[in-house]
Structure 1
C-alpha cells in the first residue's frame, strides 16, 4: 500500500469516528503505554514500532482482549532514562490498539487510536507493566468562527510546508491540508507532525478547541518561518561552494544561520584577538613573529570546526606555552653550590670541579653559553643523580629524557605539521615542561641510541648539542628557530665507543670511575644507610651498623663499580628489621655477620685469591668492562691433538690474535710444541664474551709457566699488549683495572711503561698498598712473575735475543 493511500485510510478512519463515550467503556484502571517523542490526541491515529520483548507480549495480550490503554507522553526520553511515574505526563489519552503487524524478529508495528482525554490520578502497579487509576476529562470541542478561521490558516500553512518539503512529509502535509473538519484536523496534525512534544502536550491539556488551535497555529507558523529561513540559507550557501564539498556546505549553512541570528563571527574574532594579544605579550623573536602573523591571518578566515583550524590553533598554543625569555637566576655562590654537591654525592671530584669552573666563568662573564658535558662511567656511580644535584645547586629546573632505544629522528626533532597527530620532539617538549630557557637538560644513556628506516636520532642531536649552532635549533613541528644556547646539557653514557664520532666530538667527556672499598664504605655510612632507614620507616629506631659489617657486605655480597647493588643489599637487611619492628619488637638491632647471613643468605662472591691455584700454567690478568674493571685468569695446558692451538672461553678476534702471537713468541724462544701435542688456552667464565689486546702479556706468562713448570706469583696481576718482538704496548682502562686489583686483594700490578701518564689520574690513597711495576718488554714481565727461581725462561729469552741478532734485528731495550 502506498504512503498516500495509507494516509487516506488513516484520515477516513478518523473522520468516521463516533463519540468516544458512545463507543467505548470507561474503565477506572488502565495499563499505561509511555510514548517516546510522541503525544496522542482523541480522534488521532498514531503508528508505533515496539522492540522491547516484554512490551511486545503485553501489547499482544491487550490487542487480543480488545482492552483499552492510557497513552501518555514521556517528559525525558534519553536512552538511559526509563519510563517511570515521575517521568511521564499525567494528562494523556485513553486509546485502543487497532492493528498489530510483525516487522522482523523481536519487533512489531502497531496502530493506536485516541478515544478520550484522561488524567492519571495515581499509580496502581509498577510491574510487570505500569497501571494507573484514571479520571475522564471533558472538553469543549465546539467550533466557532474564530476556530474556522484558525483552521483555514492552518491548512494554508500546511500547504506551504508541503511545498518546502518539511521533514520530507510532502504527501502527509498535502493530505492534512485537505481535511475540512476542524476537530479532525487538529487531532491528526498535532498527533502526526514532528514538532516538539512539549507543545503537543500543551495542546492536549487545553480545554477549549479555540485554545488548542491557537497553540497549534503558533507552532505551525514557527516551523514555517524556520523552514523558510533554512531555504534561504541553503540558496545562499549553494552559490559559494561546489556540490562535491558536502562538509563545507554544512559549515556555510551554520555560518549563514549565525549571521541571521545576529551572532556572526564575533566569537571567533574575539578569540583571534585574544590569541593575538597573548602572542604579542610573549616578546617573541622577529622571525617567529613573522611566521605567527601568517598563521593568525589564516585562522581568522577559517571555521573553528575545520581540521586545519584545530591544527593551527594547537601550533599557536605550543608557541604560547613555550618559554622564550623566561629564565631562572643561577646560584653563583661557589661555596654554597659546592656544599650542596658534597651533601648529595661523595667524591666525584672531576665533574664537581668542572661545574665549579663553569660557575666561576659565569660569575665573571654573564653571557656564557651552556656547556655540553658527557658523564661516562659504569652503572651505579651516580651519573644521573649527579645531574639532578647540579640542577638543585645551581637553582635551575631539571629535565631528564632517556635516549635508550630511541630509533626515530622525530623523537628528537619532532614531526612536521602535515602529519596527523604531529607534535614537537623531546627536546622542545622538555623545555616546555621546564618553563624556562635555561634548564639543566639531561640526555640519559646517549650511548644506547639506535637507528632504522625512520632516521638516525644521533645525527638529529648534532645541532642541539653544538654550542655554535644550537642558538638556532629548528624543531620540525615548530619550524622556527629556538635558542638552546642557554641550556646546560649533560649527557650520560656507560661507554663512549658506541657514540658516533661526530656526536662525540661535540661532547666534553668527564669520566666518572668506579668507587674503591673506602669510597663505598663512606657512601654507605653517610648516604645509603640513612636513606634506606628512612625509606623503610625505621627513623628513630635503635639500629647499629658497624663499619666491619658494611665492608663485609661490600666484599662478599656485591661485585660492582657503583653502589646500586650495595643499596639493594642494605635495603634487604633493613627490611628484615622492619619486619621485626612491625611485629612489636623494641630491641636494639645490631647488624653483624650473623645478621647479614640471616638476611642475605650465603656469600655471593668469594675472594679472588681462593680461585688462584699454585700450579703452573695459570696467570692473573686485568680486564676493563663497561661495568668497571675485573680480574681474569688465563689457563694453559698441553693436550694431545693435531691442531696448533685450542682457544676457549668466548674469546674475541683480537684476543685470539694475542694468543697466537704469544705462541709464536714462545716458539721463537726455541721451544717448539711437540707434533702430537697442541696448546689449549682457556679463559674462565666462558658465558661472558671477552676481547681486546690487553691480555697479551698474561697469555705469554701463562704459557711460560706451563712449559717451565714454574708457578706465577699469586699476588700479581698484569695487563698489556704484546708484540712479536716482545715489546709491551699501552692499554686503556688503567684506573678501573687498578681498582679491580685492589678490590680482589692483589698487591703487585704490572703495567706498560707507556701507561705511566695514566697513573696521575689515580688518587694516592688508591695506590697506597699497591706496588705498581712499569715494564717495557716481556723479559721484565717474566722476571717479576717468577722472582724466586732462575727458571728456563731466562735461557729462552737469551736464545730469542740471539736469533734476533742473527736476523739483523736489534733486540728491544731493557729497563
Structure 2
C-alpha cells in the first residue's frame, strides 16, 4: 500500500490541475494563504483539489475526494495576495479532511494510473496517434505557432502523461475535467480526451463558418453604404446636402482667387475628391483643411507702398536713434520703388492710348458683341502684362542685419514695415532643427501643416509684407534635415517666385516679400545662404548715443511702466552717464534699459512707502539706488613704463584697451657680460614664455614679434647683453579670460622691444594691427569699437594700420576730434610713435634665472 501523507489543502475554484502540468495560481483567501505559508516552511507540497461549489470558505464535503499532489514553485507576493506556480506531481485520494482554525489539511494516499494491457496493440497505438494529431490540429485552430505546439507536445511521449497534458489545456467545465482526473485507465482517458478535443475542433470550425457569414453580411452592408452614398449624390444635385453647401462655398471662395495654373489644377482635383468622399471620413477632413489653407493665403492681395521718402525718414527717426546705414538702405529701397512706379505709370498710360486707338473692329459684323469680347480680351491681356511687369519690378531685396544683441536689429524691422505701410510678420528661427519647419510636412503625414514661411504669409494677409527671419544664425542641423538649406530657395530672388511648400505642393510667389534676417555671428551662417543676402552691419552704440537713446526712448518708457508717468521724475545727464559707464557694458541698450527700470522701480517703491523722493535724480542718487558700480573698465596708464604697451581689442559688447607686459631675464647658460654672444647665437638661444590664457593666433603674433626683435636688434638698439641666452616673458593680464586674434601683434612687438631695449612705451598711445616677420603691419577689423573703447579709457593717440584709414568714416565726429590718429605700414613707423626715446631709462643688468 502506498505511503500515507498529511498535506495542507489548496482549494481550487473553477479549475482542475493534472499531473505533469504547471499552472499559475492566484491565492487571496486567508486560509489558503496560511496553507501556502505552511507548505513553504515544510517541503513545499500541497494537496490541490477542486471545489464542487464556488464558495469562499469550502467545507470538506464541498471538495472532491481526488486531487493532485502539487509542488509550489516560484512565489510572488503583492498587495492583493500571492501569485505562485504550481506543478502537479501525481494523483492522490482523500482519506480524511482535518478542519482547523488556520487552514485545512488532509490525509491522502497516492494513486497510480492503470496502464493498458498491451501498449503495442494496434488499436491502442491508433488511439494514441489520433489523439496527438487532433491535439495538434486544435492548437493550430487556436492560432498557436507550430514551433510552440511541437515544443509542448513533443516533450511528452508516454500516453498517460500526454492525456493529462491535453486535459489540462482543453476548455471544459470543472466537473468534466474532474472526471478525466478520476479516470485511472490510460486507454479510457485517451478516448475521453479525444472526444473532448474533437468537440473543441468542431466548435472552432463552426465559429469560423459563422465569422465567414458575418463577413458576407458586412459586404451587404457595404453595398448598402454605397447606395446611401449614391443617395447623397442625388441629394447634392438637389442642393439638399450640407457637404454640398460647404463644397459650394469653398468653390466660390477659391473661384474668386487669381490662382496660378498649377494651383488651380490642384484645387480642382482636390475639390473633386472632396465631393466624392464621405463627409465624416478622415480623407475629407484632410482635403477640407488643405483647401481652407489655399483659400486663406494672399495669392494676389497686396498693400500699397507708401513711397513718401520724407514720411519714411520721419518714422525711422521717430523709432530709432542713429543707425544711419540701415535708414539709408531703406530710403534707397523706397527711392527705387518710387522711380519704378513712375515709370510703370507712364508705360501703362501709353499702352492704354495705343489700345484705345487700335482696338476697333476692322470690319462690320453681324454680331457686334464679338468685337466687344475681343476688346475685353485685349484689355485683359494688357492688364495681365502690366501686372506681370509690376510684379517683376517689385522684387524685394534680402537684407541681413548683423550685429551684437540689443542694438535694434529686430525692432527696426517693424519700423521699416510701418514706414513702408506694409504688414509685418516675424518668424523666430533660433533652435529650429527640422527642415519641415521651413518647407512644411507632406499631406500624407498625420497632423501635417505648412511651414513657417507659408504660415507667416497667411498671418500677414498680403503678398508683400515685411518678413523678419529672426536669429538665422541659430539654425541647427539634425537627422531631420538642414533648415538652413531649405532657406536657400526662400532667400534667392531668382527663384523664390515659385517657392513650393511640401504641404501646399504648388508654387507660391514670395518675390514681393521684403525679407529681413537678423544674426549675431555671420560666420555661423552657411556660405551659400549668406551669399543670397545683403549684409547690413549694426555696430555698437557709443556712450553718447546710448545716453541719447536713454533720454529719448528708454527713460520715458520705463517711467510709464513703473507708474511714474504723471510724476515729474527726471534723470540728469550725469545720472544717465553714470548708468551707462558704471553699470552697463554692452554694445546695445538692453542692459541699460534694465538698469533704468531698476532705478524707476526703486523710486516707485519709495513713493509707495510714503517716503520723500527728489524729483531730480543725479549721479549720487543713482549710486544710492543701484549700489556699487558693476563695471570697472580699463584706464590709460598715468606714466610711461618699460615693457608695457597698450593694445585695443573688440568684443560683441564693445571695444576696450588691454595692457601687454613683457620682461627679459638671463638664462644660466648665458655668456658673461664681457663676452656677449653673436647675433645669430643670441637669436638661437632666446626663450619665450606666454601667459594670460592666449589663443593660438596671439601666440603666433608673439613669436613673430620676438623673431623680428632678434633679427633687427642692431637697428632697434638692443644692447648686446640682452641678446644672449635670455628668456622673454610676455603676459596679458586678466588671465581667467580667454584671448585670441591677430590684432595684438603691434602691441606685443612694442612691449618686447621696450623690454629688451629699456625704452619706455608712451602711456597715452593705444595700438592695434597684425604683423609679419618682415615687420609689415596688416589691417584688422572692429576699428570703430576699438577706437571707442580707447576713447573711453582716456587714450589720446591711436595707431592703426595704414590700410584701415578708410574705417575712420565709421567713427563719430566728436570722437575723431578728440583723438589723434597715426597710420603705419611697418613696425619701424610704429616704434617711432610708441617708444618714448626722449626719456630712455638705463638698461638694468639682467639677473640669471634661479
Q: TM-score range by the shorter chain?
A: 0.5 to 0.7
- Superimposed CA distance per residue, residues 494-524 of structure 1 (whole angstroms, 9 cap, x where no aligned partner): 2322222211111111112111122112111
Query: In the alignment, is the contact (CA less than 8 A) between 2:232 and 2:241 conserved in 1?
Result: no
Q: Distance in 1 between matches of 2:234 and 2:305?
A: 59
Structure 1 residue corresponding to 2:835, chosen from 772, 786, 795: 786
1:568-579 equivalences in 2 (<5 Å): 568-579=594-605
Q: 1:650 aligns with which of 686, 689, 693?
A: 693
Partner-residue secondary structure (3-state), 2:504? coil
- The alpha-carbon deviation at position 613 of structure 1 amounts to 7.5
Alignment of 1:317-332 (within 5 A): 317-332=292-307
| Deviations 1:355-390, CA, capped at 9 Å, x for gaps | 111111112213321111111222211111111111
Distance 1:586 1:652 in 2: 54
Query: For structure 1, which segment, 726-735 or 623-632, has the greater mean C-alpha deviation from structure 2 after superposition?
Result: 623-632
Whether 2:321 is the aligned partner of 1:346: answer: yes
Cα distance 1:675–1:577, how it changes in 2: closer, same or farther (>3 A)? same
CA distance in 2, matches of 1:772, 1:793: 30
1:419-458 equivalences under 5 Å are 419-458=445-484
The match for 2:581 is: 555
Whether the aligned pair in 1 keeps the contact of 2:633 and 2:656 (CA below 8 Å) is: no
Deviation string 1:582-618 (CA, Å, 9 cap, x unpaired) is: 1234654321222111221111223421777754222
1:778 deviation in Å?
Answer: 0.6
Tell me the equivalent position of 2:622: 596
Q: Give the match's secondary structure for 2:494.
A: coil
1:656 deviates by 1.6
Distance 1:594 1:103, change over 3 A: farther
How far apart, CA to CA, are the structure 1 residues paired with 2:638 and 2:733? 12
Count of residue pairs the alignment pairs up: 561
Q: 1:678 aligns with which of 724, 727, 735?
A: 727
8 Å contact from structure 1 (residues 237, 253) kept in 2: no
Q: Aligned to 1:333, which of 302, 308, 328?
A: 308
1:653-702 per-position Cα deviation (integer Å, ceiling 9, x unaligned) = 22221111111111112368777653332223334332221111111011
| CA deviation after TM superposition for structure 1 residue 630, in Å | 2.9
Query: Does the 8 Å CA contact 1:666/1:704 hold for their aligned counterparts?
Result: yes
Instruction: Find the aligned partners of 1:387 and 1:301 in 2 and give their Cα distance.
Output: 47
Q: 1:639 to 1:788 in 2, by over 3 A?
A: closer
Greater CA deviation, 446-455 or 350-359? 446-455
CA 1:250–1:783: 2 relative to 1, 3 Å:
farther
Q: Report the equivalent of 2:178.
A: none
Change (3 A) 1:320 1:545: same
Instruction: Please state if 1:662 is matched with 2:705.
Output: yes
Cα 1:788–1:474, aligned 2, differ >3 Å: closer, same or farther? same
Distance 1:430 1:490 in 2: 13
- Which residue number in structure 1 is paired with residue 763 of structure 2? 714
Q: Partner of 1:622: helix, strand, or coil?
A: strand
Further displaced range: 556-565 or 666-675: 666-675
Alpha-carbon distance between aligned partners in 2 of 1:473 and 1:710, rounded to the nearest angstrom: 67
- 8 Å Cα contact 2:307-2:420 kept in structure 1: yes
Q: What residue is the counterpart of 2:747 in the other structure?
A: 698
1:277 equivalent to 2:252? Answer: yes
Alignment check: 8 A CA contact 1:441 1:487 kept: yes
Seen in structure 2, the aligned counterparts of structure 1 residues 635 and 292 have a Cα distance that, compared at 3 Å, is same
The gaps in structure 2 that reach 5 residues or longer are 1-52, 58-212, 342-389, 668-684, 844-850
In structure 2, what is the Cα distance between the partners aligned to 1:622 and 1:413?
45
1:393 equivalent to 2:419? Answer yes
Distance (Å, rounded) in 1 between the aligned partners of 2:287 and 2:691: 64
Is 1:689 aligned to residue 738 of structure 2?
A: yes
Can you list the C-alpha shifts for 1:88-143, whole angstroms capped at 9, x where unaligned?
xxxxxxxxxxxxx99999xxxxxxxxxxxxxxxxxxxxxxxxxxxxxxxxxxxxxx
Q: Distance in 1 between matches of 2:55 and 2:314?
A: 85
Note the C-alpha offset of 1:768.
1.2
1:750 aligns with 2:731: no
Q: Which residue, out of 526, 537, 546, partners 2:563? A: 537
CA distance in 1, matches of 2:802, 2:636: 30
CA contact (8 A) 1:463 1:469 kept: yes
Deviation at 1:289, TM superposition (A): 0.5
Secondary structure of residue in 2 paired with 1:608: coil
CA contact (8 A) 1:414 1:424 kept: yes
**What corresponds to 1:80 in structure 2?**
none
- Counterpart residue number, 2:160: none
Paired residue for 1:290, among 252, 255, 265?
265
Structure 1 match to 2:136: none
Q: How does the TM-score come out when normalised to structure 1?
A: 0.64
1:238 is aligned to: 219
User: Contact between 1:621 and 1:717, CA under 8 Å: does it hold in 2?
Assistant: yes
Distance in 2, matches of 1:238 and 1:639, equals 101
Distance 1:448 1:792, change over 3 A: farther
Deviation of 1:264 after TM superposition, in Å, equals 12
Note if contact 1:387-1:442 (Cα within 8 Å) is conserved in structure 2.
Answer: yes
Shift of residue 450, structure 1, vs aligned partner: 2.5
Aligned to 1:619: 645
Following TM superposition, by how much is the alpha carbon of 1:446 offset from its aligned partner in structure 2, in angstroms?
Answer: 1.7
Q: Map 1:16-415 to 2 at 5 A.
A: 238=219, 266-366=241-341, 367=390, 368-415=394-441
Q: 1:267 to 1:740 in 2, by over 3 A?
A: same
What's the CA shift for 1:767? Answer: 0.8
Paired with 1:477 and 1:520, the residues of 2 have a C-alpha distance of 46
Deviates most, 249-258 or 653-662? 249-258
**Structure 1: stretches of 5+ with no match in the other structure:** 1-100, 106-231, 242-248, 795-815
Residue 482, structure 1, aligned to residue 508, structure 2: yes
Q: Is the 8 A contact 1:693 1:721 kept in 2?
A: yes
Any runs of at least 4 consecutive aligned residues in structure 1 with deviations exceeding 4 A, and if so which?
101-105, 232-237, 249-265, 610-614, 639-643, 671-677, 790-794
The CA distance in 2 between the partners of 1:475 and 1:259, in whole Å, is 33
Q: Which range is displaced more, 472-481 or 627-636? A: 627-636
Contact 1:542/1:588 (8 A) holds in 2: no
Q: CA RMSD in A?
A: 3.2
Q: Which of the residues 520, 525, 533 maps onto 2:551?
A: 525
CA distance in 1, matches of 2:763, 2:704: 25
Please state how far the C-alpha of 1:745 moved relative to its aligned partner.
2.1
**Superimposed CA distance per residue, residues 739-770 of structure 1 (whole angstroms, 9 cap, x where no aligned partner):** 22222222211000111122233332331101
Q: Equivalent of 1:584, from 604, 610, 615?
A: 610
Distance in 2 (CA, whole Å) between partners of 1:628 and 1:250 is 78
Q: Is the 8 A contact 1:234 1:253 kept in 2?
A: no
Deviation at 1:789, TM superposition (A): 2.3
2:816 counterpart SS class: coil
- Taking structure 1 as reference, are residues 723 and 457 closer, same or farther at Cα in structure 2, changes over 3 Å only? same
Q: Say if 1:572 and 1:600, in contact at 8 Å, map to a contact too.
A: yes
- Tell me if the contact between 1:403 and 1:445 (Cα under 8 Å) persists in the aligned partners: yes
For 1:482-521, list aligned pairs within 5 A.
482-521=508-547
Residues in 1 aligned to 2:294 and 2:335: alpha-carbon distance in whole angstroms? 34
Q: How much does 1:639 deviate?
A: 5.7
* Residues 345 and 386 in structure 1, CA contact (< 8 A), matched pair in contact too: yes
Q: Whole-Å Cα distance in 2 between the matches of residues 499 and 350 of structure 1? A: 22
Report the 3-state secondary structure (helix = DSSP H, G, I; strand = E; otherwise coil) of the residue aligned with 1:416.
coil
C-alpha distance in 1 between matches for 2:534 and 2:461: 26
